[in-house]
Structure 1
């Protein structure tokens, strides 16, 4: 979601080499699909400046039956921010939240099956929920969305579970209760890059900013960047 669609398109083209297909205004409200090599990898949508919501990247979780999933969300004390709606010829979408209010999208695929490239330069590589209510969040996703969560770490310093195990993991949930800024809670998207430090420099040159400097982790070198209107995302240069 971006308050300046043209600025966002220019930024991500310069940073990642994205190209765009703009949907019909009457049918899709100008929804813009970003792609690499002709394959969809992300989407951009105008964020009305008057609604008071910050610009943000949103993760969508694929589900087989969106109405049944929303019923499960409500049955397990989750929130429904936007009930299921039909996207003509593409699928169905909804916006929900866990019991603590952290929002995420749901997508039931029709003609659009989601992103078609991952783990390559400029494409999604990971999705992660940062929560101060770790037990509540993991319980919700296990029960409401039938996630099979694997414990990666369970220490006071680093508490983390993944959807699936090892190389088959699809997403992560991290406890940030010990962080000083509770506003850091929410779903985060990571994009793969070949060189994290160069990507940070390129982002600044393109009108973005460095939110958190590049650091080395067990999974590679990562940093947090904001685009020109403040939408934050991670970049990750994988090990090996």
Structure 2
């Protein structure tokens, strides 16, 4: 899988939506080496996540009244597109359900949120002044790729290709395994130097690490107590 995350027609950003921003930051700092800090240049004073000085995501507090009561913790992933209105039209024509119509996020870009035909949520991002992911290849702790595990991976792959107009080169679509498979959702693959330390995170009871069958045991799934999860693999040498 070629690393082109952040390019047009690839995923380009994430936002962790949690009811425990402090606890989530502490866990991910310890496990993945991510740095959490308030972005003083942002008028909202938003919390940004970075790796070695490169921004990789944001954090939203679900206690904020903008979120409906009972909204579960989750990670929003943003897919970069050229024309959000045209791509929303293409997505709905290919079977997606529009959840949040396109709107302007200040002068940074435009956002829309949808549910794809297999049931996974995703957002589209048309950038203006905010480009999203920009980091050097093979950086430890950085996004490495995206995975969507579902019962109809071929349908999902064709949907995203039809929506963006080109294949997602940094995304894998894999079939779920077993009757206990979780609901379809996008997950980020993070490349780390020491995979064993991530797997040991469950020893202190603060997080869990499993080896999902659908990945063939090549990666571990790290999950926070709220259920925020990432797929973690060893960094290529």
TM interval, short-chain normalised: 0.7 to 0.9
User: Where does residue 58 of structure 2 map in the other structure?
Assistant: 43
Residues 238 and 20 of structure 1, relative CA distance in 2, 3 Å threshold: closer
* Structure-2 separation of matches of 1:52 and 1:68: 32
Q: What is the rounded CA distance, in whole Å, between the counterparts of 1:203 and 1:34 in structure 2? A: 22
**Paired residue for 2:9?**
none
Residues 31 and 198, structure 2, Cα contact 8 Å, conserved in 1: yes
Kindly indicate whether residue 213 of structure 2 is the aligned counterpart of residue 237 of structure 1: no
Between Structure 1 and Structure 2, how many residues are aligned? 215
**How far did residue 231 of structure 1 move?**
0.8
Q: In structure 2, how many angstroms separate the alpha carbons of the residues matched to 1:81 and 1:180?
A: 28
> Who is 1:3 aligned against?
19
Match of 1:136 in 2: 155
Q: For 1:179 and 1:147, how far apart are their aligned partners in 2? A: 31
Is the CA contact (8 Å cut-off) linking 1:11 and 1:228 kept in structure 2? no
Answering whether residue 198 of structure 2 is matched by residue 183 of structure 1, we say no
CA contact (8 A) 1:22 1:33 kept: yes
Contact kept in structure 2, 1:60 and 1:107, CA below 8 Å: yes
Structure 1 residue 128 displacement after superposition: 1.1
1:60 equivalent in structure 2: 78
Quote the residue 1:193 is aligned against: 192
Q: Which moved more, 1:178-187 or 1:44-53?
A: 44-53
**Structure 1 stretches of 4+ moved >4 Å:** none
Note the residue ranges of structure 1 that are not aligned, 5 or more in a row.
149-162, 164-168
- Please give the per-residue CA displacement for 1:188-226, whole angstroms capped at 9, x wherever unaligned: 11111112111221464482222x1489x78x9421111
In structure 2, stretches of 5+ residues that fail to align are 1-16
**What secondary structure sits across from 2:178 in the alignment?**
coil
Q: CA RMSD in A?
A: 2.7
